[in-house]
Structure 1
């Protein structure tokens, strides 16, 4: 199994506000939309996306306007060219985005803003990938060894980088041989032994697989959580969970399908 990260899903309270924010400030375009019974899902991303690039999925459920951003969910990170961090952040400030953590406060290495629902968005300097494309998704874990083991044993991911300090460590995971432009999952482990709350504003990560049925069976052999199997989802997708309860979708895409959604 060597599936790349296909998308990251966030729940939003006001879909129109969120779409306007991402389309105005990050120049995202709507890739596809699904109107369900009581919910709407929209895929977003830069106009020019790498074939292994990940999308942002915004999900809005009717009558759900009080979402909690738990601390188990960290942030998504988007890319800007190496020499455009300060100017890109200033552009967002000029457009009315709230000043959260500017480049100077982050040592000139990165910056942070928040979307209308309080989801944190890190801005990182990269010399690859389209501007504002998704670079990584950060989740917090309570046991680094278990978390790394989950992604290496269950999904055959490998270290794409790490950063360790006196109080915490970040581990970046992605499939072996994945393009630089592919999104990574950042596992953040704090040494103080704290625990976390997931919150309902954080949705899931999605891994695109080649064979949904076969890869699901392989995950079960590797003792992954049987959360929502393919059969219970009409063999369109499936969900497992990691050791901290973060949901991970498995999705097999048909390149000839008219829609990005399997519904």
Structure 2
């Protein structure tokens, strides 16, 4: 374990106030990835940022104008992109993991780990069409 992991947490009085805003995926095929996230998870484009070098699509749940977003980022110059290994999955809370898993696979996700029960939750993993890992979670009450 690194020394950083063992370092004491900073004092709350000196820490700035933050809230989670978004996660950004750099994608190879913007139209295909937009369609996947719309069909598989019901997300909609809340905002488009269209610049000479890039396009960003800000995806949210329908009717939500603020809060956490998934941003699909596409480079217009066609540069090669690859999914790396220095990150974990995007976690998505769903009502029914089994149904969400099956639906995502029907919409183009690759099965990665079938649904199973964990401590107080049901979990499954799929890969989006470009290989990003998505964790589907349903908390048990």
TM-score category, normalised to shorter length: 0.7 to 0.9
Determine which of 4, 7, 17 is the counterpart of 2:4.
Answer: 17
Instruction: Give the superposition deviation at 1:212.
Output: 1.1
Instruction: Give the superposition deviation at 1:18.
Output: 5.0
State the partner residue of 1:215: 100
Give structure 1 stretches of 5+ with no counterpart: 1-12, 28-90, 93-129, 257-263
Aligned: 1:247 with 2:136: no
Matches of residues 35-74 of structure 1 in structure 2 within 5 Å?
none
Distance 1:18 1:192, change over 3 A: farther
Aligned: 1:230 with 2:115: yes
Q: How many residues align?
A: 138
TM-score, length-normalised on structure 1?
Answer: 0.46
What SS does the aligned partner of 1:218 have? helix
Distance 1:195 1:157, change over 3 A: same
CA contact (8 A) 2:108 2:128 kept: no
Instruction: Give the superposition deviation at 1:245.
Output: 1.0
Distance 1:221 1:164, change over 3 A: same
> What is the CA deviation profile of residues 95-146 of structure 1, one whole-angstrom value per residue up to 9, with x for unaligned ones?
xxxxxxxxxxxxxxxxxxxxxxxxxxxxxxxxxxx93111001110011101
Give structure 2 stretches of 5+ with no counterpart: none
State the partner residue of 2:53: 167
Q: Counterparts of 1:168 and 1:246 in 2: how far apart (Å)?
A: 20
TM-score, length-normalised on structure 2?
Answer: 0.82
Q: Counterparts of 1:227 and 1:240 in 2: how far apart (Å)?
A: 5
